[in-house]
């Protein structure tokens, strides 16, 4: 008799992003180059070319990737949608270095690194497949009150060229 399965598979967290991309094989290679991803598994689709399911690991987190399936209404890539409605936050020891690595690998810079009012070193890139990544390094532990005060100051200066704390 097989042992009972764990409700959360080994190596996974409670929440696991599942990205739909146009060109999943290329996306996996990009994530390896840009973010140091490790490919865990890949399941080809019936045509032998597309990816029906894959798993990669970035740091201590798993990410699932699948090719878009135009015949399935809800399995479309950001290119099909002409944008994305989510951003993936990636916490790393050196946000500036990973930001540059991602740019060098082909990501589009959408927000250069800055010291954000909530205590993170923070930047954004869009990968070549249309997904937005927030690259962060936590620098300060702040109370909700401190964050609120800094947020008010930041919003008051938004038109004056400041981007963070």
Whether 92 is covered by a domain: the verdict is yes
Structural domain boundaries enclosing 85: 18-158
Whether 81 is covered by a domain: the verdict is yes
Q: Are 16 and 9 in contact (CB under 8 A)?
A: no
Question: What does pTM read for this prediction?
Answer: 0.87
CATH of the domain at 141: 3.10.180.10
Whether 123 is covered by a domain: the verdict is yes
Q: Are 121 and 139 in contact (CB under 8 A)?
A: yes
> Which has more confidence, 2 or 32?
32
Whether 10 is covered by a domain: the verdict is no
What single-letter DSSP state applies at residue 151? H
How many domains does one find in the chain? 1
Report the pLDDT value the prediction gives residue 71, as an integer from 0 to 100.
81
What do you get for the CA distance between the two ends of the chain, in Å?
58
What single-letter DSSP state applies at residue 117? T
Whether 6 is covered by a domain: the verdict is no
The 10s digit of each residue's pLDDT in 67-121 is: 998 788 888 899 888 999 899 999 999 999 999 999 999 999 999 999 999 999 9
Whether 64 is covered by a domain: the verdict is yes
């Amino acid at each position: 008799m097989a042992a009972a399965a764990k409700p959360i598979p080994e190596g996974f967290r409670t929440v696991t992003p599942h990205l739909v991309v146009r060109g999943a094989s290329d996306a996996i290679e990009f994530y390896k180059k840009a973010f140091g991803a490790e490919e865990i598994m890949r399941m080809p689709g019936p045509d032998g070319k597309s990816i029906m399911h894959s798993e990669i690991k970035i740091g201590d987190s798993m990410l699932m990737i699948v090719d878009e399936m135009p015949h399935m209404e809800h399995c479309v890539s950001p290119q099909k949608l002409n944008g994305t409605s989510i951003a993936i936050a990636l916490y790393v020891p050196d946000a500036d270095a990973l930001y540059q690595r991602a740019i060098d690998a082909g990501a589009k810079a959408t927000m250069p690194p800055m010291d954000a009012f909530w205590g993170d070193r923070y930047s954004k890139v869009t990968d070549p497949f249309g997904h937005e990544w927030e690259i962060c390094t936590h620098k300060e532990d702040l109370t909700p009150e401190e964050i609120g005060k800094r947020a008010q100051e930041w919003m008051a200066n938004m038109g004056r060229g400041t981007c963070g704390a």
